[in-house]
Structure 1
């Protein structure tokens, strides 16, 4: 299968501390790929380097063969990379619909550029038509992630689990090819985690998912490929069964005898 994302010898240093040290990673197109590891393994740093919120100290990051190592977050969004983060980036005073609409329009602006209006009258009609299409897309995404009937609430009125669902809708609003999910189940109840797991599992196959997550039950239910980081280095990549059975992975998780599913 074609690789959508590749990391080649990627490192990130904070002074003398090597948060990531020469990591290689390949994520194939259409994969459900999870990154796990004990606390301090470098998972969030890896996520930041791929999304563009952190700059790499060394190495190369490729998206569909294009070098994005030095590109901004916005440039990566334009190439189809979208992310949700551990800490909410929602506009809590805006409505649920408006949060998604901003993402949909952001993607449209990136694609259309200055082609939005030639004359004042036709330009206004085109913009009105584009706005209508964007609203319809935003409503469809909210229904897709399980938030029908919540469109007019403010994001701040949603439960924690619903905010996570909204963040996925916002990310999908940019029409991503690569969706990065950073600890999406953090702080969720078991019921909320189950709903989110179902939501991620139902995403279209053309959306490649890279998941960073502590909840191993969620990981092993969703992922077809798992990469383990330990002390900033690549430890193991394989199927869920291969990773569960690997002695080096069990040792990394504080000497436990089994990485449970």
Structure 2
């Protein structure tokens, strides 16, 4: 009975080892395949750069120092790729090339003849599309690397990885300082520093009653009475304007006075 139990246990462990090992092999092949996709886009970028350099030389008196930096960075990236350097080393070389291209296009913005050159604009667009494909391939590759490395470090698959000598893969990281920089919002809200705009002032019409005041009964020879203002008391015994004077009529015979 004990031998049967041990035999069954050995069969279960063997089957588990084979399944785990085959899964490791499949994951490792997926990582290698995804890296080949990144490598194709890197090769495409390396092929576009010489055409871009020749176009700039032919159309404008461009800064030679910047061109030399781009050429040197491309040579280092191609050497790392052709010698099958580690993913980390290739990432460092591609990072230097990305920085050189960033400075190159930054200076090219100050040359109007380049901004109107159709060949230059076409190459610039192709490089931008290549950068997008490299970024997409890098995300896919790093996702497969994360899945493989997680199984290599997890138990009990770590035992199988140790016995089969399966190690963790390297991430392809291109450290872009501009992507990690904190965005600056200085000056973005400059229009709000002066406070909210003042409310429009209502202009009151001239020659009429003020807002909140109404014209009172007008007496001949006196200004119109305004509500809310004290009026002088009327003294009894004083004639009303026009009172105490005989009415004037037409002069002459038969006329009344």
What is the TM-score with the length of structure 2 in the denominator? 0.20
Normalised to the residue count of structure 1, the TM-score between the two structures is 0.20
Choose between structure 1 and 2: higher strand proportion.
1
More helix by share: 2
Query: Highest CA radius of gyration, 1 or 2?
Result: 2
